[in-house]
Structure 1
Amino acid sequence: MSSGFGKKLVIAISSRALFDLDDSHQIYQEQGLEAYARYQIDHEDDILSPGEAFPMVQKLLRINERLGGESRVEVLLLSRNSADTGLRVFNSIEHYGLDITRAAFSGGESPYRYVSAFGCHLFLSTDAQDVRSALENGVAAATLMSSSSPQEGSDSTLKFAFDGDAVLFSDESEQIYKSQGLDAFTENEKSSAREPMSGGPFKAFLSALHGLQAEFPPLESPIRTALVTARSAPAHERVIRTLRAWNIRIDESLFLGGLDKSAFLRAYGADVFFDDQELHCDSAGQHIATGHVPHGVANS
């Protein structure tokens, strides 16, 4: 990972995740690249509406203000646009007062290859293949799904929610569940309770969040994290001991034993939720911004 940003938390986001580009994307799909480029240039002074990730990005960038202007969070844009067609995106960034100054416009090619060069901890996109490519290159990444009724968190605190297996943790235990069933999974977790699990694709991102939280007194952090997992007792112990071994703090842990996660995510007030299973993402996405993590046995 590049060290050009020092100890900053670095998040890359696609233009379609940050802004609502559905109209212009439809033109691209139906009429082709030339018509799309002409449309974007003709409308480059028309401000784009916020997209799925916009509220999260706003809250992230406000963290720098909480630190007295010290820049500890960097949000950058990765886009398939050219710089010419991307001018509308930058005009919209300026309109909303977002402190985003770095971008890579890849002119129709996949921009994921710049994720590692920028040293990103997280990549959010609406393009599933770009997300898979980033994950394969060791970067936490998720495909942002369109919410039926997205809602911004009720306060200034930025709340991340994560599934456990195949997201924060490896899918080693989930593989047992898929191949041998619940009883074998439970027995394995009981017998391995004191053996920390391997990290999943979002471990490094969670660790970076933990480091940023440490910049604030415990009760004053502008970031909260939650584990929202289908696990229940006795499979909870290995999770707790794993996080303890990693020396990573999770603010809230919900062991739901297979209950639907949506109501709990709403009660927590999640700004964004990451899960590896599309069924869970579809359910949660009706209420909050949700990122599908195409990783592990559930996505084989």
Structure 2
Amino acid sequence: MVSTVQNTDVTQKDAERAVVIAVTSHAVFEFGADGDEAYEVGVAFPLMQALKRVNECLLKENPTESLLFDVVLVTTDSQQQQQSSRIISSTRHYGLDVSRFCFSSEEDFVESLLQHKVQLFLSTDRNETSQASQRGVPSALLDQHTASCSSEQLRVLFCGDSIVQPDTGPTPASRQAAQGFSAQLGEMRRAFGMLDSPLSFILVTSRGGRESCSSALQTLRSRGISVDEAYCLAGAPRGPILSLLRPHFLLSDGFSGPEE
């Protein structure tokens, strides 16, 4: 069973143009002892603030802009759902730009993502991102590093290796959906100048040399995506550079939560 509550505190986004992102509540909040106070913030809190800032900056550039992030907060844990009012009040307490609250069972949560036409699903649970990806919903895994990311700039990392040599795992439908999502991000990015943009793209190729990086850049540009930073690691471990770049999430061509 799926239950949806609309957040009347925020302006609802244009269903035809908005970019729908679903984030699990257990990534946004730390669920602790019972009570009426707001939950402590979780690893995805800076991400939520960064999404809100992109929306605010887009509207500042163009007050009639309709290409905005439309955030759905998803709760699948039955015990957490019993605290639904506290989840909603915590979101309002921190002023997060959440349009809808979706409460569903663990068995039905992917159906809820499809129902809400989610274009990117974010969770700290690898099993959840795997289930969503298998059903054609582009997904990315969040981890503890996300907690140290910027709240002022949304930093998105593209995995160049999967762009040059697409993984055979994602279905053609999910790959097409992922590429469509990336193109929308590219359109958002073009609304801002080169400096002080609230949205930044990073390209990292782990394998191959400059040719692989160049090929990935050309592929992204053909999709309307211009990156702000590009790194060719030529076989070096990706972990150290990621700790410096601190992207909010990583996107492969199928958005399957790539390993470091």
TM-score, normalization: structure 1?
0.67
Q: CA deviation at 1:220?
A: 4.7
CA displacement 1:28-87 (0-9 Å, x = unmatched): xxxxxxxxxxx6xxx241321111111011110122222136561111111114553322
What percent identity do the matched residue pairs reach? 30
Match of 2:37 among 28, 42, 46: 46
Cα distance between partner residues in 2 of 1:132 and 1:268: 25
CA contact (8 A) 1:61 1:75 kept: no
Q: CA deviation at 1:13?
A: 0.6
1:152 paired to 2:149: yes
Ranges in structure 2 where 5+ consecutive residues have no aligned partner? 1-12
1:60 paired to 2:51: yes
Match of 1:106 among 101, 104, 107: 104
> Partner letter of residue 42 of structure 2?
G
RMSD between aligned alpha carbons? 3.2
CA contact (8 A) 1:167 1:293 kept: no
Aligned pair in 2 of structure 1 residues 274, 242: CA closer, same or farther (>3 Å)?
closer
> Partner letter of residue 129 of structure 2?
V
**3-state SS of 1:119 partner:** coil
1:206 paired to 2:182: yes
CA displacement 1:73-109 (0-9 Å, x = unmatched): 1111111145533222112111111121302101454
Q: CA deviation at 1:4?
A: 6.5
CA contact (8 A) 1:161 1:273 kept: yes
Cα distance between partner residues in 2 of 1:59 and 1:240: 25
Match of 1:242 among 212, 215, 219: 219
Match of 1:74 among 48, 70, 74: 70
Which protein, 1 or 2, shows the higher relative CO under an 8 Å CA cutoff with sep ≥ 6? 2
- The residue aligned with 2:157 is 161
Aligned pair in 2 of structure 1 residues 205, 236: CA closer, same or farther (>3 Å)?
same
1:241-260 matched pairs, under 5 angstroms: 241-260=218-237
1:127-276 matched pairs, under 5 angstroms: 127-147=125-145, 150-153=147-150, 156-166=152-162, 170-171=166-167, 202-231=178-207, 232-274=209-251
**3-state SS of 1:10 partner:** strand
CA contact (8 A) 1:78 1:112 kept: no
Which one has a larger percent strand, Structure 1 or Structure 2?
2
Q: CA deviation at 1:156?
A: 1.8
> Partner letter of residue 227 of structure 2?
I
**3-state SS of 1:235 partner:** helix
Cα distance between partner residues in 2 of 1:170 and 1:6: 29
Q: CA deviation at 1:168?
A: 8.5
How many residue pairs align between the two structures?
234
- The residue aligned with 2:29 is 19
Cα distance between partner residues in 1 of 2:163 and 2:177: 6
Cα distance between partner residues in 2 of 1:200 and 1:227: 19
Aligned pair in 2 of structure 1 residues 104, 262: CA closer, same or farther (>3 Å)?
same
Cα distance between partner residues in 2 of 1:143 and 1:266: 16
CA contact (8 A) 1:12 1:120 kept: yes
CA contact (8 A) 1:113 1:134 kept: no
Question: Does 229-238 or 54-63 show the bigger shift?
Answer: 229-238
Match of 1:293 among 242, 257, 260: 257
